[in-house]
A and B are shown apart, each in its own frame.
Chain A
Amino acid sequence: MHDPVTYFMKYAFPCTYVLKEQGKISQAVFNRIEKATLASKPVPKEILEKTYINAFRRLKEVAKTMKKDYWDYEVIKEYFQNHHNNYIMDGDGGYKDAPEILKDLCKIHKGKIVDAHADFFVVSYDGGKTRVVANFLVPEAKKGDKVFIHHGFAVEPAD
């Protein structure tokens, strides 16, 4: 069983870069979350809820339909693996006019590692697209394994 906080942080981590680029979070908050994510250490829930506002709004919706707490591991997993992309495709939270290629980065894809190097994987997904992703969140994965990817990161192994 995963700890829900660090599990959430893995999936949300790529967004932290974007939030910083958009000036929505400070360098200090970014550094704190980055350091904790690299060490698989939790950050206080209040900080995460203030940082990833859209994700928690949607997590609460999914939690309601599952009749569980939004900090439940199953809810977080269900949201990222089965609902996150639908929200993007539906244009939720400002995605409506965004270029497809940027939306694609934001989606979570299940892919296969076709090449594994010291600090990155080349992952094939979505019927032939490939992407180079950092591998430090899934250090145990190897060539041929399936992983979930989000932006420029492999997030967790996929069965």
Chain B
Amino acid sequence: MCLSYPGKIIEIKKGMAKVDYGREIREGRIIAGSYKKGDYVVIQGKILIEKIPKKDAEKWLKMMKNA
């Protein structure tokens, strides 16, 4: 299974978002779209590629934890 793992934005500065992934904090560049602190996102290749609705992200993170 290759499903991405969402992280939560904890800070946005100069087009860069700091994202809390639980085990680590990762940084990603915001290129398109509007993002704010608290949003769940997927980062790949140091770019924010998708915003994940909170309900979906929390449900999925909980399932991954119990898997």
CB <8 Å contact, B4 and A106: yes
What residues of B have a CB within 8 angstroms of the CB of A97 in the complex?
63
CB <8 Å contact, A106 and B31: no
B32 in complex: contacting residue of A22, A98, A132, CB < 8 Å: A132
User: In angstroms, how far is the closest chain B Cβ from the Cβ of A17?
Assistant: 5
CB <8 Å contact, B2 and A99: no
8 Å CB contacts to A: which residues of B38-54? 42-45, 47-50, 52-53
Tell me the A residues contacting B by CB distance below 8 Å.
14-15, 17-19, 21-22, 54, 93-95, 97-103, 105-106, 117, 120, 122, 130-134, 151-153
Told that A101-B53, A134-B44 touch, could you supply 10 new A-B pairs with CB distance under 8 A?
Answer: A18-B5, A94-B67, A99-B52, A102-B42, A106-B4, A120-B31, A131-B50, A132-B32, A151-B4, A152-B45
